[in-house]
Amino acid sequence: MAMESQQVHRVVASHRTDEVVITEMTAALQWPYFTNRQDLDLCLFDCMGKASSIGLGIALACPERKVIVFDGDGSLLMNLGSLVTIGGMAPTNLIHFVFENGQYEVTGGQPIPAAGKLSFPGLSLAAGYAHAFEFDDADEFAKKWSAILHLAGPVLASVKVLSTERTLPIPGRLTAQAVCEVTATLKQERWLEGKGVARSDTT
């Protein structure tokens, strides 16, 4: 069984408050249609599997804030050592999604190595993640997401998704702009917190 990746986006967006969300490849094309905090979205293009590493950096820099990474299975395979690096640093505020469709979607649907054999939850737990989940049903994911969001991480959530049939245009907001905007938002919110303004007052 598998679900539409948009079903995951919808649930995550509906519970989102001030989490930084990092996306790449197909997720980076889809998430802009669901987000409610674009100023905290880092949609990455041309980063070749580095979303998990970038997420780790933000999680280490902002330990008081949840950081959510939307990774793809092919993308994570390009940077698989990052699972071990994350496991070693053990940021409790990092939630790492892996959208698994078993293929390199943006290049035409070629299968990833070991498709159907490898287990990202198994790999992540062996690498030191605190929790790992696997979902292939949207309703079950929707029921459990709120609790997962409050777990001490690092958490990996593998979601089995269908491949996307239609091609989405690359959003106008490109990576460099997103980097500037998220940096500015985090800087502004740190400044406001320094002044005693609660983060919830700013959203």
Partner 1 sequence: MTANVTNDTPERSDATLSAHVVVEELKACGASHVVWLPDSESKHLYNLLVNDPELKLVPICREGEALGIALGLLVGGMRPVVVIQNTGLFESGDSIRGLGLNLSLPILMLVSYRGWHRDAPITDTAAIYLEPVLRGWRLPYHFVRSDSEAHIIGQAYEQARASSQITAVLMAQEYV
**Among residues 79 and 119, whose Cβ is nearest to partner 1?**
79
Site for partner 1 in 107-126 (CB under 8 A): none
Number of residues that bind partner 1 (CB under 8 A): 32
Question: Which CB, 14 or 188, lies closer to partner 1?
Answer: 188
**Contact indicator for 22, 42 with CB cutoff of 8 Å:** yes
State the binding string over 166-195 for partner 1 (x if CB under 8 A, else -). Answer: ---------xx--x--xx--xx--x-----
Classified as helix, coil or strand, 146 is helix
Q: How many other β-carbons are positioned within 10 Å of the β-carbon of residue 126?
A: 13
92: its two tokens: 């409790």
Residue 113, token pair as written in the block? 């190595």
Residue with smaller CB distance to partner 1, 176 or 198: 176
Is residue 171 reached through a cis peptide bond, with omega within 30 degrees of 0 on the bond before it? no
Q: How far is CA 156 from the centre of its chain?
A: 10
- Pairing status of strand 103-104 against strand 20-24: unpaired
Cα separation values, 158 from 70, 138, 141, Å: 10, 12, 10
**Shortest distance in whole angstroms from residue 160 CB to partner 1:** 26
CA–CA separation, 12 and 200 (whole Å): 18
CB of 66 to partner 1, least distance (A): 13
Q: How far is the CB of 81 from partner 1 (least distance, A)?
A: 3
- Binding to partner 1 in span 24-53, by CB under 8 A: 42, 46-48, 50-53
Binding mask 55-94 for partner 1 (x = CB under 8 A): xxxxxxxx----------------x-xx-xx--xx-----
* Count of C-beta atoms within a 10 Å radius of residue 13: 15
Output 54 or 159, the one with its CB closest to partner 1. Answer: 54
The residues binding partner 1 (CB under 8 A) are 42, 46-48, 50-62, 79, 81-82, 84-85, 88-89, 175-176, 179, 182-183, 186-187, 190
